[in-house]
């Protein structure tokens, strides 16, 4: 699950506009140049147009330059308040523009926004570098840092100083001459390649269509999958046909239920060959180029590999520690996956199937086996997981844990008509945040699910600035008289992104750099993944899992089947994921900046760990958006590390009660409110009383 945390760092660039255009675009007609005039200053989505962004970016630069220059020109001895805090507070206008732009470009993009993204990416890179490499500014920051022992800073202040100084060093502040210029060039190239990778992937995902004309080819598909295909076909102008796409709500049920093996193969290969078709949307060379540039940049900064550079800021600290975790999980998971493959082959043989199990067969025969073993399949469960009921159940969990309440607002502008906007109130009735939820796929939206912010929480001049948070997902749309019905995996996804949202909404930090989800990559997934645990607890299920037609609460018999099958197919799920984590680490532990042949590199990586041919790695490089465009390079393992944390942390609630108020309070105060204001392991131990163990995670998966 893709979690996008969008941060626009300070820097310098200019966008040229004609004098007439400049005059026009800086008028009050551009909503960025005045207060939005909306409650809680929610972005004026109904007024913001594509043409507003370039002039707004330029104005943001001008304001930001003046703020940075004021820090440099301050004649007083550099101190914490006028240097470090001033740096954190600078660029507020630019951050606002950048956050709105990035969020819209991910969820409601169009050709104009995509062009702006391409044009702005190298400029933002230069902008960031010109600040990070500003010798006069760094000299003032370093002066404060060198005097830190005499400043009597509290924990949050000390962390802001530490991270500010470290960011300058990691941003190349100590580089000289040709090395500095090469560093800037690399960053600019990576920024452009990042945008191109994402754009190619969206285009390739949208380009694939499995159009079915014969009703016989729908054999095996449940009614909801047939209806979905018909609705998507009608929307595409293909009346009387059925359309299936590479969006997960369309593709996964097709793979699970379609009897036509050739069509399963076609849609599966369409998915795994995205951006690997040797056309103008191919990402193989982009991925190889990005990996090479990253290792060259890391070498310039004194790190042996990009992974060493990234992990220096994470809980794991070193590639060796990451590989040790993955090796432990792989050793437990691979034998289970091999046993599962043998079981599935037996199902094929029993049906007189004269073929060997292939990757496009796994979902189909796993669903058959689950039905045979546990008398359970998604078709039985989906009627109980109507989207609005699931959403309400999720919000009720937050109410029971922390007293939060959610009121849908219909008077606020929305980024898209499908979005839902809520005002969030704390347990004392005070305003806490704005939460925007966007549930359904569309051609203008990236695939996957993520959380981001239009505005982070922070404090300015003694006033708390409340956050505006968004959760973006891709769940099946309603079809005809049938509302949006979710699989339990999609239910878990919603709870997962809500955990990220809570991290952003309940933040109680002074400084933007440290607030909300601004934590190490292998700590940020703890708040999201721990929320998934509540989704499947029987006590919670009974509050929201109600049949969409009858209102009947999910029967205990079905809950028992869900619990009995919880370990089913976990070898596959764990191997598929861990293989991708290995691929990420292999790309980013390269020590020399040579461009590899992506396909040969992938094959070598998978052969080395012994991935069985019946399972395909979750992400091949050409569509591995997390690590080439989503900020997770050398960090995809973080989901697995967070599973260790969340399984261990949830045991605290199991020991005291799912909604124990003292445990919930300790979790909120030590994890959700603290952001990146302290060392993550210290924060975890303050909540849990001990370091985490891997055993609860492996036991939960049934791997030990």
Catalytic residues: 497
* Cβ–Cβ under 8 Å, residues 86 and 70: yes
Give the residue among 412, 398, 511, 394 at the shortest CA–CA distance from 468. 412
What does the alpha-carbon distance between residue 378 and residue 376 come to, in Å, rounded to a whole number? 7
* Cβ–Cβ under 8 Å, residues 283 and 623: yes
Non-local (6+) Cβ contacts of 684 within 8 A are 523, 526, 645, 649, 670, 671, 691, 692
Tokens matching residue 176: 């000289």
Q: What does each C-alpha distance from 598 to 77, 204, 251, 274, 627 come to in angstroms?
A: 52, 18, 26, 14, 14
* Cβ–Cβ under 8 Å, residues 286 and 191: no
What does the alpha-carbon distance between residue 192 and residue 118 come to, in Å, rounded to a whole number? 6
Tokens matching residue 262: 């050739």
Give the residue among 124, 1, 4, 185 at the shortest CA–CA distance from 629. 4
Angle between helices 111-132 and 53-73 (to 10 degrees): 10
* Cβ–Cβ under 8 Å, residues 467 and 516: yes
Sign of the alpha-carbon dihedral angle for 671, 674, 677, 682: negative
What does the alpha-carbon distance between residue 593 and residue 296 come to, in Å, rounded to a whole number? 5
Sign of the alpha-carbon dihedral angle for 42, 45, 49, 50: positive
* Cβ–Cβ under 8 Å, residues 474 and 364: no
Tokens matching residue 447: 């695939």
* Cβ–Cβ under 8 Å, residues 394 and 495: yes
Tokens matching residue 599: 């396909």
What does the alpha-carbon distance between residue 154 and residue 167 come to, in Å, rounded to a whole number? 20
Q: What does each C-alpha distance from 239 to 213, 223, 242, 251 come to in angstroms?
A: 10, 18, 8, 20
Catalogue the E-assigned strands of 194-241.
210-212
Angle between helices 488-505 and 526-536 (to 10 degrees): 130
Catalogue the E-assigned strands of 40-170.
none
- Tell me how far the alpha carbon of residue 696 is from its chain's centroid: 24
Tokens matching residue 95: 């951050």
Q: What does each C-alpha distance from 19 to 13, 23, 55, 239 come to in angstroms?
A: 18, 6, 11, 50
Q: Put residue 597 in one of left, alpha, beta given phi > 0 → left and psi -120 to 50 → alpha.
A: beta
What does the alpha-carbon distance between residue 137 and residue 150 come to, in Å, rounded to a whole number? 21
Sign of the alpha-carbon dihedral angle for 463, 165, 79, 678: positive
Non-local (6+) Cβ contacts of 295 within 8 A are 305, 306, 588, 590, 591, 592, 593
- Tell me, what DSSP letter sits at residue 134? -
Tokens matching residue 629: 């465009």
What does the alpha-carbon distance between residue 586 and residue 660 come to, in Å, rounded to a whole number? 43
């Amino acid at each position: 699950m893709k979690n996008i945390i969008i941060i626009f760092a300070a820097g310098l660039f200019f966008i040229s506009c004609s004098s007439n255009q400049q005059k026009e675009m800086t008028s009050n007609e551009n909503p960025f140049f005045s207060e939005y005039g909306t409650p809680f200053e929610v972005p004026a989505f109904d007024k913001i147009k594509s043409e507003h962004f370039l002039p707004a970016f330029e104005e943001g630069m001008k304001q930001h330059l003046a703020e940075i220059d004021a820090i440099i020109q301050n004649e007083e001895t550099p101190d914490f308040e006028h240097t470090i805090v001033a740096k954190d507070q600078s660029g507020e206008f630019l951050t606002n523009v950048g956050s709105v732009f990035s969020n819209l470009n991910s969820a409601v993009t169009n050709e104009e926004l995509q062009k702006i993204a391409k044009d702005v990416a190298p400029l933002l890179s230069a902008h960031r570098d010109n600040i990070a490499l500003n010798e006069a500014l760094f000299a003032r920051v370093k002066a404060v840092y060198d005097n830190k022992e005499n400043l009597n800073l509290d924990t949050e202040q000390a962390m802001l100083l530490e991270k500010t100084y470290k960011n300058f060093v990691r941003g190349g502040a100590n580089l000289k001459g040709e090395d500095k210029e090469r560093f800037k060039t690399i960053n600019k190239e990576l920024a452009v390649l990042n945008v191109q990778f994402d754009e190619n992937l969206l285009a390739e995902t949208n380009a694939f269509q499995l159009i079915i004309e014969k009703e016989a080819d729908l054999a095996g598909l449940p009614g909801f999958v047939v209806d979905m295909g018909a609705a998507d076909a009608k929307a595409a102008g293909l009346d009387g046909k059925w359309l299936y796409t590479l969006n997960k709500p369309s593709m996964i049920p097709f793979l699970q239920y379609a009897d036509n093996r050739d069509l399963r193969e076609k849609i599966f290969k369409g998915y795994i060959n995205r951006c690997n078709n040797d056309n103008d949307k191919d990402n193989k060379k982009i991925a190889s180029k990005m990996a090479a540039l990253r290792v060259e940049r890391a070498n310039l900064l004194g790190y042996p590999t990009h992974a060493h550079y990234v992990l220096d800021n994470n809980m794991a600290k070193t590639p060796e520690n990451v590989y040790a975790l993955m090796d432990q999980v792989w050793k437990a998971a691979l034998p289970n996956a091999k046993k599962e493959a043998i079981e599935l082959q037996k199902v094929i043989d029993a049906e007189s199937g004269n073929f060997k199990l292939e990757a496009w067969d796994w979902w189909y025969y796993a669903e058959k086996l689950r039905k045979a073993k546990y008398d359970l399949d998604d078709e039985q469960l989906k009627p109980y997981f109507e989207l609005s009921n699931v959403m309400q159940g999720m919000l009720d969990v937050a109410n029971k844990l922390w007293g939060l309440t959610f009121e849908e607002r219909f008077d606020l502008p929305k980024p898209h008509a499908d979005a839902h906007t809520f005002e969030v109130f704390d347990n004392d009735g005070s305003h806490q945040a704005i939460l925007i939820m966007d549930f359904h796929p569309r051609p203008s939206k990236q695939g996957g699910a993520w959380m981001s912010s239009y505005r982070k929480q922070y404090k300015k001049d003694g006033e708390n600035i409340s956050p505006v948070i968004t959760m973006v997902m891709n769940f099946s749309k309603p079809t005809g008289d049938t509302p949006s019905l979710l699989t339990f995996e999609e239910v878990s996804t919603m709870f997962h992104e809500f955990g990220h949202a809570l991290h952003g909404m309940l933040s109680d930090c002074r400084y933007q750099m440290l607030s909300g989800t601004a934590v190490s990559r292998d700590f940020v997934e703890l708040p999201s993944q721990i929320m998934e645990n509540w989704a499947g607890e029987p006590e919670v299920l009974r509050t929201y899992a109600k049949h969409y037609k009858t209102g009947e609460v999910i029967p205990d018999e079905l809950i028992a089947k869900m619990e009995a099958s919880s370990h089913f197919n976990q070898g596959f799920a764990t191997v598929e994921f861990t293989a991708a984590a290995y691929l990420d680490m292999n790309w980013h532990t390269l020590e020399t900046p040579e461009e590899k042949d992506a396909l040969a590199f992938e094959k070598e990586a998978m052969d080395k760990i012994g991935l069985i041919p019946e399972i395909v790695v979750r992400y091949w490089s050409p569509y591995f958006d997390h690590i080439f465009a989503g900020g997770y390079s050398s960090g995809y393992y973080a989901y697995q590390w967070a599973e260790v944390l969340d399984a261990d942390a949830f045991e605290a609630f199991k020991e005291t009660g799912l909604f124990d108020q003292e445990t919930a309070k300790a979790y909120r105060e030590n994890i959700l409110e603290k952001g990146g204001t302290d060392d993550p392991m210290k924060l975890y131990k303050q909540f849990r009383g001990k370091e985490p163990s891997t055993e609860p995670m492996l036991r939960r998966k049934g791997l030990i």
